[in-house]
Amino acid sequence: MKKILVVGGDERAVHLASLLESAGYEVGTIGLETGDEKTAEIDQADLLLFPYPFAMKNDCVPTYTGLTLHPSDVLDHVKSDAIILSGQGIDSYVLAQNESGKHITLCYYAGSDAFLQMNADISAEASVYEAMQRTKKTIMNMTVLVIGYGLFGRATARRLKALGAADVWVAARREQPRIQAQNDGMRAIAIADMPSIAERIAIILNTVPAHVMERSFLNALSKEACILELASAPYGFAKADAESLDIHPLILPALPAKYAPHTAAQALMNVATELIAEASK
């Protein structure tokens, strides 16, 4: 593995490039430093690292410098046997290249369980920090609700419990995660039953990217309740319901990048170096 090219991204990508250079790799960037696209030498890159998550805006890869960068601006010039590591969403662009005769290997950050866990832990720590910042209170003795009990939800609930929350409720559709939450020392409830506990909840942390907070639940919340929306679009609430009830959930995307970009970059690097080691065998 001779050269690595970090393509677009946010502050995590800037730190990722620096970490890789410090580890002795030859690293180029596009969209992370002004003018770096002129010296990127795309056709020389053995491994290209696209952003995680791969969230395009106006059909362009997000860049730190604001450079307009379409995936084809890069992929049209990659060598035939290049390896790409990315968030999910780039597959159709890579497929088009391979249909034209290239043999690009596509790998996903999300294919690494260790990465997913580390990313969930960073996000959980950030969400607890945001909860305290927004309420100006400690978590101790609060009653809180975490919606969803995947890696992120579980990591968040555990931190809230460790900080002394009076009750940590976990809402999930399926019985299995509710049983898991109870085994972890939480209180569990079906999402459909959330209105029954709404009035006692001080902070709601939603990790489910679907409209799980129905109007009946929102209407039953106390006026002082704080809703932290931690999921991606379409989010856990209907905009019309929230507006009509004068409720303003705090939408908090990309917490790892905002809260701990250096640690988040290390999580990305761990996957990249594992891939490099595997490719070198």
Same fold, 3-111+261-279 and 119-248: yes
How do the domains of the chain map onto residue ranges? 3-111+261-279, 119-248
Please answer whether residues 10 and 3 qualify as being in contact, where contact means their C-beta atoms are separated by less than 8 angstroms: no
Q: What is the pLDDT of residue 281?
A: 67
pTM for the complete prediction?
Answer: 0.91
Q: How would you label 62-89 residue by residue, b for 16+ Cβ within 10 Å and e otherwise?
A: bbbeebebebebbbeebeeebbbbbbee
Instruction: Compute the Cα dihedral for 127, 132, 138, 143 and give only its sign.
Output: negative
pLDDT digits (tens, 9 = 90+) for 157-212: 999 999 999 999 999 999 999 999 999 999 999 999 999 999 999 999 999 999 99
What CA–CA distance (Å, rounded) separates 135 from 119?
24
Quickly state the pLDDT bin for 278 (edges 50, 70, 90): confident
At the second CATH level, the architecture of 3-111+261-279 is 3-Layer(aba) Sandwich (3.40)
pLDDT digits (tens, 9 = 90+) for 88-102: 999 999 999 999 999
Question: Per-residue DSSP letters for 71-102?
Answer: HHHHHTTS-TT-EEEE-TT-HHHHHHHHHTT-
User: For the domain with range 119-248, which CATH number is right: 2.60.40.10, 3.40.50.720, 3.30.360.10, 3.40.30.10?
Assistant: 3.40.50.720
pLDDT digits (tens, 9 = 90+) for 213-246: 999 999 999 999 999 999 999 999 999 999 999 9
pLDDT digits (tens, 9 = 90+) for 246-266: 999 999 988 999 999 999 999
Asked if residue 1 has pLDDT above 80, the reply is no
Residues 6 or more apart whose CB falls under 8 angstroms from that of 149 comprise 157, 170, 172, 177, 178, 180, 181
Instruction: Compute the Cα dihedral for 164, 165, 166, 172 and give only its sign.
Output: negative
- Cis omega (within 30 of 0) on the bond before 234? yes
